[in-house]
Structure 1
Amino acid sequence: MATSLAKKEERKVRDTRLEQAIEHDDVDELHRLIVEERKLLDRASKDPFPNTPLHIAAAAGKTDVAMEMAIMKPSFARKLNPEGYNPMHLALKFQHYDTARALKTFDPKLIRVRGRCGFTPLHYIAEKQGENEPELLAEFLFACKPSIKDLTSRGETAVHIALKNQNVEAFKVLFGWLQRVNLTHILKWKDHDGNNVLHIAVSNKQPKIIKLLIKHADVNAKNSEGKTAFDIFIENPRHNQNLEKRLRPKRCSSHPPLSLSRFFSMELTGLEKYEFFFGFGDETARDIILVVSTLIATATYQAALSPPGGYWQDSSSNPSTNSTAASIENSHQAGDIIMNGWSLYFFSVVNSMAFFTSIGAIWATAIPLLPRTNMVCIAMVILGTAFSYSLVSQFPKSEAVPANLLGGFYVSLVVAGLVVPLVVWRNHARIVNRIDATGRRVDTLLESKGRQCER
């Protein structure tokens, strides 16, 4: 009995010393205590929702001790206390931004840990106004790009939170970031009330923000009350005819909004059939196709520049009279391909088939990822045109007619390869952009494969 009481007394003393070590940010004392009792930190964190020593250190802004404990017990950094906060939430709550930055450096994914009401540290800092908060918000975005896609329990993005709290500086940071990383489609997402960020900006009477959002948000979108941003605007007239005109929904009776369930019930779009047919939904297969296609394109292009037999090094002109069939066949200019007749046609056609098939595969892989792969498609067009010209221009004069026919065919092939996939992608995008799904991420439907960011 006495031994048990003595142990309890020792634990109380160590707990007090641990509190003092945290208060004085004393890393050495922390390690001395752990040497004395190996399970010291675990003993203080047995509850399902513990207020761990790391929580206490982060709330107090004791960065050195907090980082030491985060290194020794990484799991503490993700645990929520009874109030629904993890250590980074607490550091932000009490404005200990140096501690929050240190934890962000230790593990950038902590920015995505959902706490009370689904708020991540990014949501939390987007809500706060002040001189230091915009810089910290920018650092969070830079450290963890996927965090901008996280939603609260009410389906709100960080942009929703910033606008609902009329935090203009935070909105500017978030909006600028979305533009730079090409994620402005997030501005179309709705919260659980069916409001996108444009609805909120109109409700809060923020004309400057409305002007920025009109280009990126959906003016036709309706909230759960069936109101568009224009409907909300005219309920509270602001005598701004320009804004009223730009907010007016675009009437398009032939293309009404499309529910997500109805979209799934529809037949596969041309782009989706195309993806399944070529197997581009499988990233491993796509990587193999790209590598092999690149090698084939390189080899066949080089073969066009250095054909079998090579080129004539000198010129030979036909005599004006007494010409024979043999002399016509042997007429050539320096730089012409030595091959002629059916051997030349066979080589040109087979080599070109291999080349255009390879760049077509590269092109086809890039189509589902449009518009981010615009430059790849443009580069393939230029490459195909250059190949056609370099091959056909080296034909002997005696083969001018077949050369022109092949050149026309190659150009037609390049144009068709550009136009057809773009039309298929455009039709798919037109359907997907009609989807009106509250709180759902429909943006991934425009990608070859929906990807969820690792947490």
Structure 2
Amino acid sequence: MVSEKVKMKLYNAASQGDVTTLVHLLEEHPYLVHGLSFPCSRNLLHIAAMHGQTSIVEQVLNLNPELARISDSQKSSPLHIASARGHVEIASKLLAVAPEMCWWRDKQGMNPVHVAAMNGHVEILELLLLDSCMPAMERLHRGQTVLHLCVKHAQLRVLKVLVEKLGELVCAKDDDGETLLHLAVRGNQLETIQYLVENQAVEKQTRNSMGKTALQILKEGPPTTAATYLQMKNLLINLTNDSLMEVLPKMSDVTMVVVILIATMAFQVAVSPPGGVWQDDKSSHRAGEAVLATTNPKVYRHMVRANTTAFVSSLITIFLVTTGLPATHFFFMAVALYAMWVALMAIAISYVMSVDVTTPNQRMHSVGNVIMMVVAGALNMFGWVLVYVAVRHLYRSWKNKKRRQQDLGGDAFIRRVFYRIFHLLETRGFSRADR
């Protein structure tokens, strides 16, 4: 049985880095390096790691490397303690002896990666994840990830490092459906919210298990300083308006149904025109030609143009949607949506003209013309609204990138053209710099 005096000397030597005293005591009592336990069931490695005594850690590992695999009463290994205190060199030596300790969990369910992230030790994290990032993928209590832990403890610097390494976790939810953005709002972390809003991979409008978005949580939460609240609110409000790039992929199934129906209608009008086709050959026509082309050639030409426009626009939309371009390229996406509305307008005009030429009542002719003008005007106006929304989206993207001083040269050609136009307008006073 070791005396309390010897035990205290060993503790002091390990905590103060007194290698000479430690070696002398272990030479007199060699069994102590194997079975000695301090309060909370800690061994010499726990004590040395807690106080950052690298030389003591080296000496003890040389004598008994198995101590690196022994946990204390809280199930914390020496690597847990070194990670919590930020002792990089000690963590490196412990990893060399027992690399599997990266996976071991303490009583709180945390492995050393979680502990380092919670305490903001970036250097320790990079060391622990050098060989594999898999320990960082382990979930915590109630399904929280290591990224949730970073936000919960306001460790933005660590969060940025881990997002680069664990990009697929950035949209993860815990068991309550809470994302990183939800937690950042609950913690009134303005800088974290700004970082997450700017991150393209983060799903901005995700709802938790209560059906609430981050903006709703902000409005329902306890009041904070006016300036901070307004800044967070403005950041989150900008996310509520889905950009055109986010809207169209959600509409792709409906879009395909609509344009296929329009293409079918246009094809049917082409092979079976209103009034039918001639069944015999004569001097004024041949068999198979449209009757309307002979009896009313002007109307027939307009109808064919509208019908062809509808058919071609439908084919363009079908091509763009089926090739997947709308989901990844803003320009092609806008073209697809615009082409669909052109097809709708054209098929409406074709329909009204078909009804007009096949209806004997002159009054119905006037009604048909009015309907055609109203439909054409409404759809044409919608087309201009679509153009406005697309240009506004590009303008806001340009302003955001300019404010963050991001490089604009890597964007698509069509975007750079618009960016150049916006720059010229702003330099000439046509565009407000604070919009």
Q: Structure 2-normalised TM-score?
A: 0.46
The higher radius of gyration belongs to: 2
